[in-house]
């Protein structure tokens, strides 16, 4: 297990930059999760 330590100010700054690029609640607009999972499973079957 990995643990990260970060100040609340650093976390807030990171999240603000992240939300500027991908606004909150629009994450799923950026990727087709079903297609991504299908691609991973297909690759695993090919071995």
User: 45: pLDDT confidence band, cut at 50, 70 and 90?
Assistant: very high
pTM of the model: 0.50
Q: Is residue 2 part of a domain?
A: no
Q: Which residues contact 17 (CB under 8 A, 6 or more apart)?
A: none
CB 30 within 8 A of CB 22: yes
Distances (CA, A) of 5 to 1, 15, 17, 37, 41: 13, 15, 19, 31, 34
Asked if residue 29 belongs to a domain, the reply is yes
Residue 3 lies in a domain: no
- Tell me what pLDDT residue 43 has: 94
In a domain, 27, yes or no: yes
Q: What is the pLDDT of residue 31?
A: 85
- The verdict on residue 1 lying in a domain is no
Cα(11)–Cα(27) distance, integer angstroms: 19
Structurally, the chain folds into a number of domains equal to 1
Per-residue pLDDT tens for 3-41?
A: 989 999 999 999 999 999 988 889 888 889 899 999 999
For residue 38, the enclosing domain spans 8-46
What is d(CA 36, CA 27) in angstroms, rounded to the nearest whole number? 14
Residue 47, pLDDT score: 79
**Residue 40 is assigned to a structural domain of this protein:** yes
Q: What is the pLDDT of residue 13?
A: 97
């Amino acid at each position: 297990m990995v643990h990260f330590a970060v100040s609340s100010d650093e976390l807030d700054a990171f999240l603000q930059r992240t939300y500027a690029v991908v606004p909150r609640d629009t994450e799923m607009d950026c990727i087709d999760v079903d297609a991504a999972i299908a691609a991973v499973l297909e690759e695993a079957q090919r071995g």
